[in-house]
Chains A and B, each alone.
Chain A
């Protein structure tokens, strides 16, 4: 379950990096914002008297995903694209600050936003036992959804004309322009897609833990970023593998050393650093060529 969410966040990072060579750190807070928008939608719907769980869930998702897609496009259009020719560092700081602004806005303007908010449990919680293994129905649904979404996105990128355009821009923006691809639209599209994924991941995270707070995204975002880099930036499959790897590392360190379970993040990050020593450009490495 954790792996799916990590992978979805990582795919977002890797998409942005692919088209613009930009690390978009506001991604994490877009995720939080998505979860909060759906929470607002839920409140609105229950106030309007709509109770049917799946209709509610569907509308919540639509609200969160559409809202975040729009937000992603705004970020790209007004904050990231104008800095295209600035040093990468400036862009990085810019996205970090946008993230901070979003996070603070949620904390300040959502009623009692500095406390954790309870997220409605809309999925059935029936538990199944297989021997020692305990599986809840909502976990299964979430994992299946996550996988389906990831497969859909990869089909979209690899099989459609629009996906072809995205890959073209990712390979070489200038050449893609010459071939008649509208560069800016593609960038906006990718930001919309990535942010929609983030919103979905945020809602899934909320449904799983039944709790969200303004800083939910921060941790997920950093882990997602690590997963994307470990997989090899710009490579979707790498990001997916990286996401699952990170979850695996966390779980393994708990299983292997139960007495030191508090150190699970320490071990996971140490393992990541070690991995980077062995494979300096990620598991599925970028093709690096030196131009002198």
Chain B
């Protein structure tokens, strides 16, 4: 390696990823009342120790230096976790949910993290995708990949209604518009009878070019849960979404979006078309959320307004903030934390939301930039700098 002098080792990052993988697999595999609690406690202690001793910062640096090869490591570890969980329906369902929320959050990250457009209606766009999938799959013979795409497009179109208000307002006023829209969307679904009202709609399972994802696969006599199909498919989708988001960030568009977020007036004096960039970020982000929502609907087989209320939007935002706004890598661990943890802490069933909100408050007080803060943009590869 040319960069041996400057770039840190790969080992700390690999170790960290593997540790995270083992942690989440353990958490998902243990069904006992108290065992998950012990795992969580051990994980929390390990995290604090890692932060205090600087091991975490070390791993982070090494991760940033070898991002390309680390992509592969992350995917490999994730696949390992998937196979370890191969027959656990519920655990796989949760992993899929993590990935789908992650995709939606990648979209929100383009809006909020890069461009600075607030969106408190993430769940509404997620839900728009879900309902589109539900209606189209039930009433038309469109091939399912097209339906997923349509889910994204409908979410994007629905978001376009908000473009004019969003461009005219800023700051808290813009936030209000999305809050109002999120609530409007939900109360509309709840009272609209053609869309199932409060009961929701039943959605057929996903079928890709004749391969029904609801049939379990059998490899060498071992039958895996059919959720494994969905997990693999969502993993693929998440990789695509991640690559797209990352390419946007690295490109000139990403630079321009950053400029708009940091100072819109200054950006416009440098000739950037601020409304255009905002529109682009908002629509692209909503399309991400819509596609994720469409897959979610077909995976769970059922959509109802309760899945898309204001608090779901808040969960999406919480994932983003916990992971570190603007850092797409932070989203996955944060999503896992926010979604899996409350589900697994069965021993404290009733108290889990209380503990969860207290945990978020603590993280905000002691680590306000999120667990994995966004790093400064690297304009040159490390190799060249040495």
**Which residues of B have CB within 8 Å of A90?**
321, 364, 368
Number of interface residues of B (CB under 8 A): 43
- B residues 254-272 touching A (CB-CB < 8 Å): 263, 265-266, 269
- A residues 247-292 touching B (CB-CB < 8 Å): 262-263, 265-266, 269-270, 272-274, 276-277, 280-282, 290, 292
Q: Tell me which of A82, A98, A104, A276 contacts B173 (CB under 8 A).
A: A276
A96 to chain B, nearest CB (A): 6
Given contacts A93-B364, A100-B353, A101-B361, contact A281 B173 (CB under 8 A): yes
Contact indicator B179/A226 (Cβ below 8 Å): yes
**Which residues of B have CB within 8 Å of A122?**
none
Given contacts A97-B360, A222-B310, contact A265 B187 (CB under 8 A): yes
- B residues 350-374 touching A (CB-CB < 8 Å): 350-351, 353-354, 357-358, 360-361, 364-365, 368
B361 to chain A, nearest CB (A): 5
Distance between Cα atoms of A17 and B171 in the complex (Å): 12
Q: Residue B81 at the A interface, CB < 8 A? A: no
Given contacts A226-B176, A269-B183, contact A277 B165 (CB under 8 A): yes
Closest A residue to B359 by beta carbon equals A97
B82 to chain A, nearest CB (A): 31
Contact indicator A93/B184 (Cβ below 8 Å): no
Contact indicator B365/A282 (Cβ below 8 Å): no
Contact indicator B358/A101 (Cβ below 8 Å): yes
Contact with B along A67-88 (1 / 0, CB 8 A): 0000000000001001100111
Q: Tell me which of B165, B180, B318 contacts A226 (CB under 8 A).
A: B180
- B residues 233-288 touching A (CB-CB < 8 Å): 263, 265-266, 269
Contact indicator B169/A281 (Cβ below 8 Å): yes
Q: Residue A128 at the B interface, CB < 8 A? A: no
- B residues 123-173 touching A (CB-CB < 8 Å): 162, 164-165, 168-173
**Which residues of B have CB within 8 Å of A292?**
263, 265-266, 269
Q: Tell me which of A89, A97, A233, A272 contacts B180 (CB under 8 A).
A: A272
Given contacts A100-B357, A266-B187, contact A108 B351 (CB under 8 A): yes
Q: Residue A31 at the B interface, CB < 8 A? A: no
**Which residues of B have CB within 8 Å of A94?**
361, 364-365
Distance between Cα atoms of A270 and B354 in the complex (Å): 33
Q: Residue B63 at the A interface, CB < 8 A? A: no
**Which residues of A have CB within 8 Å of B364?**
83, 90, 93-94, 97
Contact with B along A104-127 (1 / 0, CB 8 A): 110010000000000000000000
Contact indicator A269/B368 (Cβ below 8 Å): no
Q: Residue B188 at the A interface, CB < 8 A? A: yes
Given contacts A93-B317, A93-B364, A263-B191, contact A104 B357 (CB under 8 A): yes
Contact indicator B165/A86 (Cβ below 8 Å): no
| Chain B interface, DSSP helix/strand/loop, else mixed | helix
Contact indicator A229/B162 (Cβ below 8 Å): no
A97 to chain B, nearest CB (A): 4
**Which residues of A have CB within 8 Å of B357?**
97-98, 100-101, 104
Distance between Cα atoms of A195 and B354 in the complex (Å): 21
Contact indicator B165/A276 (Cβ below 8 Å): yes
Contact with A along B283-302 (1 / 0, CB 8 A): 00000000000000000000
Closest A residue to B118 by beta carbon equals A89
Distance between Cα atoms of A84 and B177 in the complex (Å): 25
Contact with B along A187-220 (1 / 0, CB 8 A): 0000000000000000000000000000000000
Q: Residue B325 at the A interface, CB < 8 A? A: yes
Closest A residue to B171 by beta carbon equals A88
Q: Residue A57 at the B interface, CB < 8 A? A: no
**Which residues of A have CB within 8 Å of B353?**
100, 104
Q: Tell me which of A97, A263, A272 contacts B188 (CB under 8 A).
A: A263
**Which residues of A have CB within 8 Å of B265?**
290, 292
A residues whose Cβ falls under 8 Å from a Cβ of B: 17, 23, 79, 82-83, 86-90, 92-94, 96-98, 100-101, 104-105, 108, 222, 225-226, 229-230, 233, 262-263, 265-266, 269-270, 272-274, 276-277, 280-282, 290, 292
> What 9 new A-B contacts, CB under 8 Å, besides A97-B357, A266-B191?
A23-B175, A89-B112, A94-B364, A97-B364, A108-B350, A265-B184, A269-B183, A269-B187, A276-B177
**A-B CB contact pairs (8 Å), 22 listed:** A17-B172, A23-B175, A90-B364, A93-B364, A97-B358, A97-B364, A98-B357, A100-B354, A101-B357, A105-B354, A222-B183, A222-B310, A226-B179, A263-B188, A265-B183, A265-B187, A273-B180, A276-B165, A276-B168, A280-B169, A281-B173, A290-B265
